[in-house]
A and B are shown apart, each in its own frame.
Chain A
Amino acid sequence: MTKTLIATTALIGALTGPLVSTAMAETIGISIPAATHGWAGALNYHAKRTVEMMKETHPDMDFVLTTTPDSGRQVSDLEDMVATRGIDALVVLPFESEPLTGPIKRIAESGVWVTVVDRGLAQEGIENLYVAGDNTSFGETAGDYFAQNLAQGDKVVVMRGIPSTVDNERVAGFEAALEGSGIDVVAMDHGNWNRDTAFTLMQDYLSRFPQIDAVWAADDDQAVGALAAISQAGREDEMIVVGGAGMKEMVERISNNDKTVPVDVTYPPAMISTAIEMTVLGLTSDAPLGGSFVISSELITPDNAADFYFEDSPY
């Protein structure tokens, strides 16, 4: 009952939307997860920054930015955008792939340009444009670094994120890169991309293992927690910590040649800017822009750290 109601409102919205907007400004809807952890916070920062910038360069365009704490709310947000704002294009970072696939598919079918960011949909071929980081390469980059810089038999502990596809792909890439290197992954537990959880987890790793040579924290927030626990135990000289994403504080430590934090792996939250700008271009220009655009993960080293340091970013 509600489903058909929603579907019809969505349909009416979709039908009236383009009609209204041909006469008036084009509207781009942007739906992203709320800032519940550092990376998502930076995502929000870059989304807002890009919208401000685009408004200046394209005064004829309207932008609707919503942030959402869960999949259910995101579906409602999308319905509202279509029904009441008559969007012409949608930039969406799905909170979860499965539940959002249906609603986004309906919007795409109604003729709205859809750009999906970072988390792919469960069904292929729905979106016009897919902009994402490469989670497998994120794990591989860290794994390759360990394989090249650690000795055979060295012991590594791993902090995983919130259980999700993103996390699984990263860990799979990491394990694939380590295969055959003789490096021993002694433990893997979830730090949930949270500083406090990572802090307690690292404390417990330190009590559990007398020898740890490297920590793959897989996220810079987790790395912050892990580093605090390691310095509490006074074991900074025994191990290296590799995080991920490219947080300001970590990049700074790398450029200062910190022994404990030698490198970091990027997973740029600014990919939302890439997505918004390409969508605007897709609406305004005739250049072909469909397909997928994958931003690979790079290794931040003391040599190139300056390129990854953004003074004003909150992350």
Chain B
Amino acid sequence: MTMATAVKTQSQGRRLDLQVIGPIIALIALILIGMALNSNFLSYANITNVLARSAFIGIIAVGMTFVITAGGLDLSVGSMAAFVAGLMILVMNVLTDTMGVTLPVILLGIALALIAGVIAGLINGLLITKVGIEAFIVTLGTMGIYRSLITWLADGGTLSLGFEMRELYRPVYYGGIMGISWPIIAFVVIAILGEVVMRHTAFGRHCAAIGSNERVARYSSIAVLKVRLATYVLLGLLVGFAVVMYVPRLGSASASTGLLWELEAIAAVIIGGTLLKGGFGRIWGTVVGVLILSLIGNILNLTDFVSPYLNGAIQGVVIVLAVVLQRKSAADR
């Protein structure tokens, strides 16, 4: 991923200012620190672990980039992921009773997760565009609703996929081709598609136009509401897709699933150089942001460098530093 992003930067950058390379510098610095602190840091297993665990937040953060670029925000994605995961497990368990431990059950479960994600995104989007409520408030509300629903579905406990079904579904997270596991492949494909859509399609440019100045966008005959609605639906779909990758990992969902994912996704988007107020979005930056966040956690676990009580503080400092690196040059623009 870093390779691809580096190439991208060069082809795009007429001049490599700090604003563009800020997140990459932070990422490289983290990799160097990791290498210095632990010899296993660059081992195949560790790299695979870090990339695979980044995939959930990463896939969601790609969708979040579109929402934020178009001037919106979605706080409900973490709860939504937990709810969709719970729903998927419940339905798959019921289907297993009638259809047995078979592939169609998994395919139906995947279809359900994607559809549930789209519907959840549609609800957010319609409340924001048609009813005209502030995105922050709508998604704060749905965040609470989905979190309560998963707690209720699980009766306060944990929903678990049947043991045999878990074994059958397991390879979707742990398997792969040529030593690259599926979640990593999925993340790369989604990120590349996202980058193409953001840079080279009318939809991507409309998102930036709306986020930058909604009124002007409307006068330019952009279907503002439709585009905005589409960003939330796309995000919902990607949440569903992330869940498809998440469920085979532990085969369970509970009230603590997906906790704070929304903030991690938003942080990754902002670290990557997308403007929180909208108008400018960068998918590859988001990918770098997600990797930065995962690497901090990984490095802290690999060392006794700081007291574990201070993990959150280190993460906070790195996030702020990564953004400060960009803002310096943003002032010159």
Contact = CB atoms under 8 A, between A and B. Distances in A.
Contact of B250 (A34, A36, A199): A199
Interface string A216-237: 0000010011001000110000
B301 A41 contact: no
Given A163-B309, A315-B157, A228 B254 contact: no
Given A45-B157, A207-B43, A38 B309 contact: no
Nearest to B155: A314
Interface string A191-202: 000111001110
Interface in B229-288: 249-250, 252, 254-257, 259
B56 to A, nearest CB: 9
A74 interface: no
B49 interface: yes
A195 B38 contact: no
Contacts of A147: none
A203 B173 CA distance: 14
Nearest to A209: B40
B302 interface: yes
Nearest to B261: A196
Interface string B293-333: 00001101110100011010000000000000000000000
Contacts of A249: 160
A37 B301 contact: no
B301 to A, nearest CB: 4
Contacts of A228: 249-250
B250 A208 contact: no
A40 interface: yes
Given A37-B255, A38-B254, A196-B257, A207 B308 contact: no
A234 to B, nearest CB: 10
A190 interface: yes
Contacts of B308: 160, 188-190
Interface size class of A (residues with CB under 8 A): 35 or more
Contacts of A151: none
Contacts of A160: 308
Given A196-B257, A199-B249, A228-B250, A38 B297 contact: no
Contacts of A201: 301
Interface string A276-315: 0000000000000000000000000000000000000011
B302 A37 contact: no
A189 B156 contact: no
A51 B103 CA distance: 43
A224 B298 contact: no
Interface in B42-56: 43, 45-46, 49, 53
Nearest to A201: B301
A42 interface: yes
B157 A208 contact: no
Contact of B259 (A34, A188, A194, A221): A194
A204 B49 contact: yes
A244 to B, nearest CB: 16
A187 interface: yes
B156 A40 contact: yes
Contact of B155 (A41, A207, A225): A41
B302 A204 contact: yes
Nearest to B152: A35
A224 B163 CA distance: 13
B165 to A, nearest CB: 15
Interface string B152-176: 0011111010000000000000100
Given A35-B156, A160-B308, A41 B255 contact: yes
A44 interface: yes
Interface string A5-44: 0000000000000000000000000000011111011101
B40 A195 contact: no
A207 B49 contact: yes
Nearest to B44: A207
B156 A44 contact: yes
B150 to A, nearest CB: 10
B86 to A, nearest CB: 13
Contacts of B311: 190
B256 A204 contact: no
A195 B252 contact: yes
B151 interface: yes
Nearest to B158: A38
Contact of A37 (B174, B250, B256): B256
A168 to B, nearest CB: 11
A205 interface: yes
A101 B255 CA distance: 28
A207 B53 CA distance: 14
Most chain A CB within a 10 A radius of its CB, from B41, B252, B298, B311: B252
Most chain A CB within a 10 A radius of its CB, from B41, B45, B156, B308: B156
9 contacts: A37-B256, A41-B154, A41-B155, A160-B308, A200-B53, A201-B301, A207-B49, A224-B250, A314-B154
Given A40-B156, A195-B256, 10 more contacts: A35-B156, A38-B157, A41-B255, A45-B155, A45-B157, A204-B46, A205-B301, A221-B158, A315-B157, A315-B158
Top 4 A-B residue pairs of the complex, sorted by shortest distance between their CB atoms: A35-B156, A314-B157, A41-B156, A204-B301
